[in-house]
A and B are shown apart, each in its own frame.
Chain A
């Protein structure tokens, strides 16, 4: 009886000890984003980057002596699914979350997390996510939408264009970019005149009338705020009417589908887009590593997601825990971390410093990165 009792106590104590020990074995971090659905390609690109960074860090012994484990929740890039995905991650007590994939979903997830999660996005680019300052523990490694406007304006000034037309698709994204470009140009005109500032209806059967207007106003350059499908129709109809106006678009135009659709009319069209980060040696090694796990391409956000994870883990390692967000934030904003996407440091709002947009020109049916000035 006594023997049995002591055995029982021993067993119990073992179980009790094993419990917390097992929980401390891994550091769980969350991923929220589009894993399924129409925008899954974007979400998975983020996910691949995280897998790479976590694989690297686990091979070196993990973070704070623990192996890192990724908990994934799908939100399909939909704001309503994002809040339930966020609730699930939050209820598991996770402190670090990477994501979400799309700006709208990120916004609704942030309202669920509040200040109880430190989140780093690597593909949500909408300006106000960081600009409104409502979420002190939100960071992102992609440059936000408005960072591309100065690049476009600099090109216009550099080429000495005097007559600028600005068109947008009346959507949130396109209109915001168009207005920023207008503001930038009007603040310091240097002889540049905005001859046209208008919205067009997305999906219209013909943009002939707008093209006539462009021709009549004698615009030398057209700044487009919107996505590639309307832009390709505009480009086709402009070139069809013999209009040689230079077209500059945002990253919504920086998409191979634009070239496929606009065909010969795409030649010479310019677009700002994310920098090509795949050139460095460690980036190439990361791609090779990715190929051992997946047959899919790395996608556009691989390096941003990997960089996000590496920067956060470095800060957590210095702080010594995952709960003191103020201390982690201090490290993220003060120290520069060398990552696979290059040096990473954030400003006080949570935006990455020193990752500009590049300007691409379509030459011979391909986007060619123009040298950065």
Chain B
């Protein structure tokens, strides 16, 4: 039972890590039907900027600590990543908006390779130590045994982000504009929606989520390098597809399924085969429901 519980918890934490990144993927896809492969790189840049700011502000010169440090670093790296996301959309995707659907996809892959190499060159090709920025929390003994505080914070942030995003898209004017763009960009424009602005906001929100992911996952892994975006991005993308790309609760559910599948496969079969088990589940679900769990299997959107 203990073994089952510990696998369950590790699946839950892994799932929520994937979910935090998957939310950004699914949101961008939901609005403009673009798979933003550079999203994993924004996550990596978020982690790097968080590390840089935490060293600057946590150092003796400024001397911040505890929650102030964590929140300031989170805000600054989110801002930084938002600028990257905004610029990326303007440079790599906006000029290709009228082009065939394949063009922005290639552009996204190019952007991803560019950002990886850029960080490798201007920062470092080596692993860097990431500080554990999350302050000590006194947890009840039973909770502390099952989950550590970093993973608890990741879980909470993922849940809050999911709810906040759903509310934002359902109930605000900007959210309504986003849904309109998703349904029919030309009609939305004709009814006075500022298309460019809506898409920019989408990218900014996605990038902020990725940066938060970079910060929190950095705290959990305690090391980063320029390549972390690749594997995490791949897994998050898989999760988003599993849950139905474009759907916000879908991304979270998909990520949790992926996390549990990996964790239980590692525990009860073999960790050498866990990726295989996870992807077999993906294939089965997509065979039964081609649009993913929460996806509406609409045919071509062109």
Contacts and interface: CB of A to CB of B under 8 A. Distances in A.
A binds B: yes
A26 interface: no
Given A203-B228, A209-B267, A233 B223 contact: yes
Nearest to A232: B223
A209 B18 CA distance: 15
A241 B263 CA distance: 16
Interface stretch (A120-128, A183-191, A211-219): A211-219
Contacts of A93: none
A61 to B, nearest CB: 44
A160 interface: no
Contacts of A240: 148
Interface in A248-285: 257, 260-261, 263
B228 to A, nearest CB: 7
B148 to A, nearest CB: 6
B127 to A, nearest CB: 5
A202 to B, nearest CB: 9
A210 B14 contact: no
Interface residues of A, number: 28
- The secondary-structure label for the interface of chain B is helix
Interface string B7-18: 101110110011
Interface string A220-247: 0000000001001100100011000000
B129 interface: yes
A6 to B, nearest CB: 66
Given A213-B271, A257-B127, A203 B10 contact: no
Nearest to A202: B231
Contacts of B266: 209-210, 213
A172 interface: no
B94 interface: no
B221 interface: yes
B272 A170 contact: yes
A257 B223 CA distance: 11
Nearest to A38: B125
A362 to B, nearest CB: 16
B3 A203 contact: no
A236 B151 CA distance: 14
Contacts of A211: 10
A interface: dominant SS: helix
Given A206-B10, A209-B11, A199 B17 contact: no
Interface string B223-251: 10101101110010000000000000000
Contacts of A229: 127, 223, 225
Interface string B254-278: 0000000011001100111011000
B275 to A, nearest CB: 6
A163 B91 CA distance: 57
Q: Which of A38, A209, A216 neighbours the largest number of chain B CB atoms within 10 Å of its CB? A: A209
Given A208-B14, A210-B266, A233 B6 contact: no
A205 B129 contact: no
16 contacts: A170-B272, A199-B271, A200-B271, A204-B231, A205-B217, A205-B221, A205-B232, A205-B235, A206-B13, A206-B221, A208-B6, A208-B13, A212-B6, A216-B6, A233-B222, A261-B223
Given A201-B274, A208-B14, A229-B225, 19 more contacts: A170-B272, A203-B230, A205-B17, A205-B221, A205-B231, A206-B221, A209-B10, A209-B11, A209-B263, A209-B266, A210-B271, A213-B266, A215-B6, A216-B2, A216-B6, A236-B222, A240-B148, A257-B127, A263-B129
Task: Across the A-B interface, give the 8 residue pairs with the lowest CB-CB distance, nearest first.
Answer: A208-B10, A209-B266, A212-B6, A209-B263, A199-B272, A216-B3, A209-B10, A198-B271
